[in-house]
Structure 1
Amino acid sequence: MPAVHIQSHVYLIGAGPGDPDLLTVKALRLIETADVVVYDRLVSQPILNLVSPGAELIDVGKAPDHHPFPQPNINSLLVSLSHRFSKIVRLKGGDPYVFGRGSEEAEVLRDAGVAYTVVPGITSAQGIASTTGVPLTHRGLATGVRLVTGHCRAGHDLDLDWDGLADPDTTLVVYMGRGHAAEIARRLISGGLSADMPVMLVVDGTRPSEERHFTTLAGLGATAATIDKRRPTLMVIGRVVELADELAIPLEAELGRVGHG
């Protein structure tokens, strides 16, 4: 293994789902003192505003069907920056190790001999559970939760264990699935889930622009089609969504909390 770059360090940081109040203390300290910040599209502007004015900001964000900065280029960039800067922050939405490709970047840094640290963040599923008030598990409704991605490479099918995912006693959270919502619903119904299973779609979760859409598996495709594909959307499928009427926090009250007043 090549010698470690003693004078440089890359921090793979989870920025959470968007609300700056949900950053960890460690993440905030590193963001405020970074020499350079390499950030994804899902990192919110209020979080980017915390970066020191003297730091360099590099946007490597990918949008649906638009990847101007491919992952191999990001990997190479991080290694290159380690030769120029002491403290490099790689800022990702949510948690870097939950559908964030952070482990791929860690492998590249390790192989290049670049020192790195992973700083966890609140993943979107946890974030929207707190702002909507809809729990991911609940006695009598859901004994577990599964997180899956609804995104697949161009020309590939969604390769998931549909029969295993069609479990009425488990909450299913789907990341990046808006574009395949109709197929996801069809596969889950074919696997045995009721077409009447409740679904909540949360757009821009934990942000001032947050929206909540309620439907069923039968109506999932049509509901998802009304959402702008550029806006991050999370699907929560399961009986816990039934609790929305009694536990959901009104958007007006939630957005009045610390940091948004």
Structure 2
Amino acid sequence: MKWSRKIPKLTVVGAGPGDTDLITLKGIKALQSADVVLFDALVNTDLLEYASEAEQIFVGKRKGCYAYSQDQINELIVSRAGSHGHVVRLKGGDPFVFGRGAEEMEYASKYGVETSFVPGISSSLAVPGYQNIPLTKRGSSESFWVITGTTKDHKISGDVALAARSTATVVILMGMSKLGEIVSLFKQEGKQDLPVAIIQNGTTPQEKVGVGTVSTIESIVNEQNLTNPAIIVLGEVVKHRQQILELQHKINVEPSFVAAS
């Protein structure tokens, strides 16, 4: 292998949840200085225009089909850092929220590659927010859980059952394949009427939203053909979305300006 004279460097960058405007300025600067970009499936590829001179390699997965295994990605980071210099690992959302960013930085560091991290806006926060669903709201929710729906063993996370017992807002990523098990756990806690929102392709033009309750959400998913990539939000805060829609409708029907007192 021909090694570059540049210092081997890895920057793990959060691309945000999908809307290209939601990447940070620091993330854009990292892309502009990249020699190689390794990007995932949930990254909006329009962001690659910021690294038009860099080698661009897709390393993501779709529906269980891997372009590269995680071990191969780790090795690719080290080899490209050695041969090219600055590698940007571009990941959807925030790479430290179920993104394996920490694992890749740890691996690269073992081989003498300088590492740095650029946070991204997590889909767990931004996607509900785009639909006017706050994760906390005075009088409705004092805290929130963010949980992976599916563990590395392809089982539902045990934390879902714990979260179902709390009064917190619960956000579940990668949980659509476990939706039946999730609603069952909440029903066991007597929360059949708890509001639920499922948001597919959040913050993008392809966004789809289904809103119901623990008892109705599975039928709504079937009716609207909701599927991955999507997040599941369970909690009283989901009602805020409808409240805002009703207020906006009222303003549009009866235009008026009322000054805040």
TM-score by length of 1: 0.86
Structure 1 residues 50, 138: closer, same or farther in 2, change over 3 A? same
1:126-145 mapped onto 2 (5 Å cutoff): 126-145=125-144
- The residue that corresponds to 1:24 in the other structure is 24
C-alpha deviation, 1:211, in angstroms: 1.4
Kindly name which structure, 1 or 2, has the bigger radius of gyration based on alpha carbons.
2
Identity %: 34
1:14-163 mapped onto 2 (5 Å cutoff): 14-52=14-52, 54-153=53-152, 156-163=154-161
Pair 1:207 & 2:207 matched: no
C-alpha deviation, 1:217, in angstroms: 1.1
For these two proteins, the number of residue pairs brought into alignment is 242
Instruction: Give yes or no for contact 1:12–1:91 (8 Å, CA) kept in 2.
Output: yes
- The residue that corresponds to 1:169 in the other structure is 167
- The residue that corresponds to 2:253 in the other structure is none
Q: Which amino acid aligns with 2:239?
A: E
Deviates more, 1:163-172 or 1:17-26: 163-172
Out of 211, 236, 240, the position equivalent to 1:239 is 236
Structure 1 residues 129, 158: closer, same or farther in 2, change over 3 A? closer
Which residues of structure 1 form unaligned runs of 5+?
251-261
Write 1 or 2 for the structure with the bigger share of helix: 2
- For residues 188-241 of structure 1, what are the alpha-carbon distances to aligned partners after superposition, in whole Å with 9 as ceiling and x for unaligned? 222x14111111111111111111110211223333445454x41011110000
Instruction: Give yes or no for contact 2:136–2:143 (8 Å, CA) kept in 1.
Output: yes
Q: Distance between the aligned counterparts of 1:110 and 1:70, measured in 2?
A: 19
What SS does the aligned partner of 1:81 have? helix
Structure 1 residues 33, 193: closer, same or farther in 2, change over 3 A? farther
Give the RMSD, CA atoms, in angstroms.
Answer: 2.0
C-alpha deviation, 1:168, in angstroms: 5.1
Deviates more, 1:41-50 or 1:22-31: 41-50
- For residues 4-25 of structure 1, what are the alpha-carbon distances to aligned partners after superposition, in whole Å with 9 as ceiling and x for unaligned? x971211000000011111111
Q: Which amino acid aligns with 2:85?
A: S
Deviates more, 1:156-165 or 1:29-38: 156-165
C-alpha deviation, 1:29, in angstroms: 0.9
Which residues of structure 2 form unaligned runs of 5+?
249-261
Q: Which amino acid aligns with 1:92?
A: K
Q: Distance between the aligned counterparts of 2:128 and 2:218, measured in 1?
A: 22
TM-score by length of 2: 0.86
C-alpha deviation, 1:163, in angstroms: 4.0
Q: Distance between the aligned counterparts of 1:182 and 1:11, measured in 2?
A: 38
C-alpha deviation, 1:157, in angstroms: 2.7
